[in-house]
Amino acid sequence: EAGVAQSPRYKIIEKRQSVAFWCNPISGHATLYWYQQILGQGPKLLIQFQNNGVVDDSQLPKDRFSAERLKGVDSTLKIQPAKLEDSAVYLCASSLSSSGDDGYTFGSGTRLTVV
Amino acid sequence: KQEVTQIPAALSVPEGENLVLNCSFTDSAIYNLQWFRQDPGKGLTSLLLIQSSQREQTSGRLNASLDKSSGRSTLYIAASQPGDSATYLCAVKDGATNKLIFGTGTLLAVQP
């Protein structure tokens, strides 16, 4: 089966600019996750979708980050305006079950550099 | 609050050695534990998934064990190869929050 697809792979922007990332999960996976991984740290959950509804966005900086999952398939994560500390790898993952007990499958990530 | 710790932070071994990576977690109430591999600048590749009712899982040269009561997991890599060089992350599916909580990883270098 095809994996989790993410684009772009790399992005360099200036602070205060906006940026958007795209994710296409594995076909049939109802649950989609966005993670932020700062260099030298483990990934941290930003937002979790169940189909097209938000399950958990408690760690999403809502003043600048937004995400949507239209039609319960693809998802986009947006940052506006970006700050230097947003430099990180943004990982998308999906799982078949709503609980994620079947394990998570991650995409290759988008490496964002804010200068 | 669930916390996941991985020791050592970095490890360098000669090719052919068997090695063990350690992962510990503070709350034993977990649904499962997953080991991932991450190559530089890349995403995460799932290696092994151990459900809370299981003691170990094996895939090729990899063996992961889980001792939920003591809050520990080990990833055993047999006959290491330079291609095994990567960062290895463990993550637990926390029973209280239902979130996947990651450790900070072990950076492994296998010298040819």
User: How does pLDDT run across A41-88, given as a tens digit for each residue?
Assistant: 899 999 999 988 999 999 999 999 999 998 889 999 999 999 999 999
Task: Note the pLDDT of residue A63.
Answer: 96
Share of chain A above pLDDT 90, in %: 81
Task: Note the pLDDT of residue B34.
Answer: 95
CB contact under 8 A, A6 and B43: yes
Shortest alpha-carbon distance between residue A40 and chain B (Å): 7
Shortest alpha-carbon distance between residue A57 and chain B (Å): 12
pLDDT(A1) > 70: no
pLDDT(A90) > 70: yes
Shortest alpha-carbon distance between residue A65 and chain B (Å): 20
pLDDT(A99) > 80: no
**Closest among A87, A89, A93 to A111, alpha carbons compared:** A89
Between strands A53-56 and A44-50, the pairing is antiparallel
Q: Between A44, A89, A101, which is nearest B31 by CB?
A: A101
* Parts of chain B with a pLDDT under 70: none
**Closest among B44, B99, B46, B105 to A41, alpha carbons compared:** B105
Shortest alpha-carbon distance between residue B14 and chain A (Å): 24
Residues of chain A neighbouring B89 (CB-CB closer than 8 A): 42-43
Task: Note the pLDDT of residue A44.
Answer: 94
Residues of chain A neighbouring B103 (CB-CB closer than 8 A): 42
| Contact status, residue B4 vs residue B101, Cβ threshold 8 Å | yes
- Give the C-alpha distances (Å, rounded to integers) separating B53 from A102, B60, B66, B68, B69: 13, 22, 9, 9, 11
Question: What gap in Å lies between CA A112 and CA A88, rounded to an integer?
Answer: 5
| Contact status, residue A107 vs residue B43, Cβ threshold 8 Å | yes
Strand partners, A59: none
CB contact under 8 A, B42 and A109: yes
Query: CA-based angle B108:A106:A65, to the nearest 5?
Result: 110
pLDDT(A9) > 80: yes
Nearest-Å Rg of the Cα atoms of chain B is 13
Residues of chain A neighbouring B91 (CB-CB closer than 8 A): 42, 104
- Give the C-alpha distances (Å, rounded to integers) separating A67 from A49, A51, B37, B94: 10, 13, 27, 24
Task: Note the pLDDT of residue A54.
Answer: 94
- Sign of the dihedral defined by the CA atoms of residues A51, A52, A53, A57, in that order: positive
For A8, the token pair is 């772009």
Query: CA-based angle B93:A68:B94, to the nearest 5?
Result: 10
Task: Note the pLDDT of residue A89.
Answer: 95
More confident of the two residues A99 and A106:
A106
Chain B residues at the A interface, defined by Cβ less than 8 Å, are 4, 31-32, 34, 36, 41-46, 49, 51, 89, 91, 93, 98-100, 102-105
Residues of chain B neighbouring A4 (CB-CB closer than 8 A): 43
CB contact under 8 A, A104 and B105: no
